[in-house]
Amino acid sequence: MQIYLPIAEMPVSVLLLVGLGAAVGFISGLFGIGGGFLMTPILIVMGIPPAIAVATQTAPIVASSTTSVLAALRRNALDLRLGLVLVLGGFAGTSLGVWFFAAMRRAGQLDLVITIAYVTLFTVVGGLMLAESVRGFWARHRGRPRPARLGGDHAAYLAWPLRMRFPRSRLYASVIPILALALFVGFAGAVLGIGGGFILVPALLYLMRVPTGVVVGTSQFQILCTSFVALVLHAVQNQAVDVVLAVILIVGGVFGAQFGARAGRNLRSEYFRFLLAILVLAVGLRFALELALRPEEPFSIVVQEAR
């Protein structure tokens, strides 16, 4: 069954999109992170223009983050004060990212920028996560489990000026590194169409030493707010959000996420980190391969209407 996407200007199979949405939703529910870093590359591979894929994918991110935040509020697993600081930095990063997105699109370099950014970000983050997980496996194999990182431990950069107390996270720290982290996540989310959970969650755990119990809910609160702003800006400023595509992806993702969350409860933490690292690294290597291969059409002609 084919349906025409008015903004992407191409027909696609509804069943294929629902199936992909369900599969990515399952993985998202399994690992507890947004599926934008998977769905956006898949849409691009399917032939959806990168600008449309990035902008439209923010809609499913908003939908999934909303359910996650509501669940965290019910469990009292959200640090609202820390979340508001992250949102403040995220708004600045998102606005800057949408502006950069529009500028690169006008210059005709958006596809190249997205590909290089995916290669750099995903291979670096995936490689670091894989190394961390392998070290954990090796320590466990030798019978010396690595000591757990405790929430509330303070690193030197958290003692910079403009310190603020976050009782829920047992944290008394400078807002400067927190705002900088949020700005980067917001910028990357707007340019690449990713929620940024796979960056924000490890950063809050390992760099800010936020307790595990409030990390996911707090990060999802920031992602919800910044993704909503990105969605509106992409729709108004870039006219790049395909509503038909967004609705189909949301429907598939909702079903898949429910089953993924159930399966994730039985997944051991060391296997969780290892599989997530492989997943992130594979996405980065997929885009690296695209840069290395010769394109089918080395040259193209774009006709622009005179204004």
Residue 239 · residue 231 · CB < 8 Å: no
Amino acid 178: pLDDT: 93
Half-sphere exposure of 146 (CA within 13 A, CB side): 12
Placement of tokens 């990212």 in the chain: 97
Per-residue confidence at 197, pLDDT binned at 50, 70, 90?
confident
Residues 6+ apart with CB under 8 A from 185: 90, 93, 196, 199, 200, 203, 222, 223, 226
Q: Please give the backbone phi and psi of residue 196, each rounded to the nearest 5 degrees, phi first.
A: 95, 5
Distance CA 245, CA 204 (A): 32
Domain ranges across the chain: 2-143+159-292
Share above pLDDT 90 across residues of the chain, in percent, rounded to a whole number:
17
99 bridge partner residues: none
Residues 152-184: tens digit of each pLDDT: 456 788 888 889 999 888 888 899 999 999 999
Distance CA 22, CA 257 (A): 7
At residue 151 the predicted structure's pLDDT band, cuts being 50, 70 and 90, is very low
pLDDT digits (tens, 9 = 90+) for 2-13: 888 888 888 988
Instruction: Give CA–CA dist 210/149, Å, rounded.
Output: 10
pLDDT at 275: 74
| The token pair that represents 263 in the structure block | 């399966």
17-52 tens-digit pLDDT: 888 888 877 776 666 566 677 788 888 888 898 889
Instruction: Quote the CA–CA distance of 2 and 168 in Å, as a whole number.
Output: 49
Distances (CA, A) of 15 to 49, 243, 252: 20, 17, 9
Q: Is the pLDDT of residue 232 over 50?
A: yes
Q: What's the CA gap between 117 and 288, in Å, rounded?
A: 10
Nearest to 211 by CA among 199, 196, 222, 201: 201
201-217 confidence digits (pLDDT tens): 878 877 888 887 788 78
- Measured distance between the N- and C-terminal CA atoms of the chain, rounded to whole angstroms: 38
pLDDT tens profile 246-293: 999 988 887 777 776 666 666 665 666 677 778 778 877 877 887 776
Over residues 178-192, the pLDDT tens digits come to: 999 999 988 988 888
- Nearest C-alpha neighbor of 190 from the set 22, 7, 25, 36: 36
Averaged pLDDT for residues 225-244 = 89
pTM over 0.95: no
Among candidates 189, 242, 202, 222, which has minimal Cα distance to 53? Answer: 242
